[in-house]
Amino acid sequence: MAKLSGLLGAWLGLLLALTASAQAAPRVITLAPALTELAFAATITPVGVSSYSDFPAAAANIERVANWQGINVERILTLKPDVVLAWRGGNPQRQVSQLEKLGIKVIWLQPETLQEVVQSVRSLAQWSPDPAQAEQEASRLNAQLSELQRRYANPTRRPVFLQFGLRPMFTAAGNTLQNQVLKLCGGENIFADSRVPWPQVSREQVLTRHPQLIVTVGGEQQKAAIRAFWQPQLKVPIVALNDDWFSRPGPRILLAAQSLCRQLQSDAPATAKKTVSVD
């Protein structure tokens, strides 16, 4: 009987310990889809997310507390988060400052380089229920980045137009994460010198800069629309990337980089192939 009592006590102690551990997991809210992806990469399951947080699949079942119109301050307070992850490029400063004044800890995250994406995952380890796993994921992402940098250390260089939309038509300047990905893969952004991060450009401005390739987001339908838009003046290859991979500053930006580098270099002129590093 004493032995049985001891076993029951041990099991009860373990159950209590596991329960306490689960209760101690930090409560995190994310206010942008990319921040949701960064949180999950750090093994954090948020208690509240923004609209369009659709990756990974588990994010679809989490309560929405923010959208393009703003954030639901009252609901966020009700959820009693330990920390709120905010995006400086998209969340309203006034409402986020209101959260801070009400005693909510806010961390602003806005990765502007591939290395900062990796570092963002590593920095979130302190809020993860499994910090070691978060560190491991950050190391895995860093290894992917290092491999890309090694593989494409000497790529073929070509002038490229980063095209987002048709009417109006926007592009990305040199101080954007998208431009860094393009540069890694051997693309020379024809609007890298723009003073505005996301300038609206005209058809004539693009044609005068003579791009040899267009990079956009979407699928075959988007490629067909862009091809028709530029006929007959501009007949160049078009590379279409997954929109969420390339547009969001989250872990999947490395998937966009892998896809872009592979397509950009495999499509490079044969006369320049000798400059591409090979395994």
Question: At which residue do the structure tokens 């954007």 appear?
Answer: 176
173 close to 145: Cβ distance less than 8 angstroms: no
Nearest to 99 by CA among 74, 124, 69, 66: 74
| 223-250: burial string, b at 16+ Cβ within 10 Å, e else | beebeeebeeebeeebbbbeebbbbbbb
C-alpha distance from residue 192 to each of 34, 98, 156, 199 (Å): 24, 36, 18, 10
The reply to whether 52 sits in an annotated binding site is yes
Q: How far apart are CA 152 and CA 94, in angstroms?
A: 43
Annotated binding site for cyanocob(III)alamin: 52
Annotated binding site: 52
